[in-house]
Amino acid sequence: MKNLPFLLRENLCSLWSFLVVSIQRPRQGLRKPNPPDRTAQHLRTWYGLSAEVVIEGDYWHWVRLGFLPIPHPPLINLFLRRGLPPAEKRKLSYWHELGHLQTVPWAFLLAAIYLGMLWWRAEIGGSLLWRGMAALIGHEAIWELGAEGYVIRHMGRQYWQIYEQRGDMISLAAFWFGLSLLAIITTWYIVGWG
């Protein structure tokens, strides 16, 4: 077995290169003109932090908020944008990612509320681990709904028209209904009314 300092150094090196690539990649993308299969924007959020959103291909999004790179697989966008024309898929994904960035202060507020509920209802007992996991899931569900709400706010009727043209409203309904239900059930569970 390899010794611990070696493993630590190897892992720190890969973490470092991951971070460098994450920071560099969107910047490089912004310098050259956008090819047709890419949407890249450098902007300032309403609360004053600079941000970048790069949507390229279906399986990875490059997002940066302030100095913090947040590259991630676009799970919700993959599910919701199936079967859409590439240009519309990218446009909707871009507004969704921007929606996450613009609602970061509300996400923090929501996290504080959930933590408050966990603390307030600590005396009801039950596993803090399960209730903490429910809080994480509920928080993620509400943040996803908020980000997608931001898309609708910016695209208006066009949002529904794009989905009507695709002829599949089921995944859209599954997203809105499923995540709303998840948010209600997890919150209910945390507060201990169930």
Strand order in the sheet with 50-56: 38-44, 50-56, 61-65, 68-69
- Provide the token pair at 21: 């690539």
Q: How far is the CB of 153 from Zn ion (least distance, A)?
A: 15
Instruction: Tally Cβ neighbours within 10 Å of residue 20.
Output: 11
Binding of Zn ion by 76 (CB under 5 A): yes
Look at the block and give the residue holding tokens 């959103």.
53
Q: How far is the CB of 72 from Zn ion (least distance, A)?
A: 9
Backbone angles phi, psi at 65, to 5 degrees: -125, 115
Q: Determine the interface stretch with Zn ion among 24-32, 114-122, 145-153, 179-187 (rule: CB under 5 A).
A: 145-153
Q: How far is the CB of 42 from Zn ion (least distance, A)?
A: 20
Q: Determine the interface stretch with Zn ion among 24-32, 114-122, 144-152, 178-186 (rule: CB under 5 A).
A: 144-152
Q: How far is the CB of 4 from Zn ion (least distance, A)?
A: 37
Look at the block and give the residue holding tokens 């002829």.
167
Q: Which residues bind Zn ion (CB under 5 A)?
A: 76, 144, 147
